[in-house]
Structure 1
Amino acid sequence: MAKKGKKLADAAKDAADKVPAPSPNPMTNLILADIALRTGGALLRRGVEKGLIGSKLGSKKAGRVIKGRSMMQTLVGTAIARVATRSVPGAIVVGGGLLAKTLYDRKRSRKAEAAGEVAVEEQAERGKKA
């Protein structure tokens, strides 16, 4: 079975070697790959956000909520994601914090739901104006 997997991997590598790069300049190819990956990541992130938020609020309102994010919310989210993806201890700290926040919100479910709905409405309004 290991031989079969190695043969498939070799065949895939040979096929990849035969596909020409978009540009003869390797730096241009690196820039194109970076742009493609960042664009794909942004589209995937937006789709996941809309899916998670839209299940409760509806797709249109979810789009407005995402659009209404402040610069501070974006920077904090990016910083937390970077800490979580840089190291195992960072992932543990961020994951533990998210778990603690979720459990805290569940304990205070009525108050947390009311406060969250007010915040979402405000953010959706900012998204309408943007």
Structure 2
Amino acid sequence: MARKGKKAVEAAKDIADRVPAPSPNPMTNLILADIALRTGGALLRRGVEKGLVGSKLGAKKAGRVIKGRTMMQTLVGTAIARIATRSVPGAIIVGGGMLAKTLYDRKREKEAKSDGSKALEKQVERGKKG
């Protein structure tokens, strides 16, 4: 099994050596790769968000909810995701917090549903304006 892995790595290196880079400048290639990866990640994230939110609300309303996010919501979400992905303890803390919030919301289902609906409608209104 190890021999096949080494052969595959060698074959991949050989192919990589034959495929020309977009630019002869390695720094330009690094910038292009960074832009492509970030763009792909943003498109994937937007698609997943619309899919998850849109399953209950519909695609049009989901788009408005996502568009209506405040800068603070975006920054907090980014910070929490970064904490969760940087270390195992961070992932445990963030995952535990998400589990606790889910269980708390399930315990007080009626209040959580009405609070969430009100907040969602405010966010949809912000999304219509922007």
Please classify the TM superposition score into its range, dividing by the shorter chain length. Answer: over 0.9
Unaligned runs of 5+ in 2: none
1:3 CA displacement: 2.2
- Corresponding residue for 2:33? 33
1:118 CA displacement: 0.9
Structure 1 stretches of 4+ moved >3 Å? none
Alignment RMSD: 1.0
- Corresponding residue for 1:112? 112
Equivalent AA in structure 1 for residue 79 of structure 2? A
Q: Equivalent residues in 2 for 1:93-112 (5 A)?
A: 93-112=93-112
Aligned length: 130
Unaligned runs of 5+ in 1: none
- Corresponding residue for 2:2? 2
Cα distance in 1 for partners of 2:30, 2:81 equals: 24
- Corresponding residue for 2:61? 61
- Corresponding residue for 1:75? 75
TM-score normalised by structure 1 residue count: 0.96
Answering whether residue 84 of structure 2 is matched by residue 84 of structure 1, we say yes
TM-score normalised by structure 2 residue count: 0.96
1:120 CA displacement: 0.8
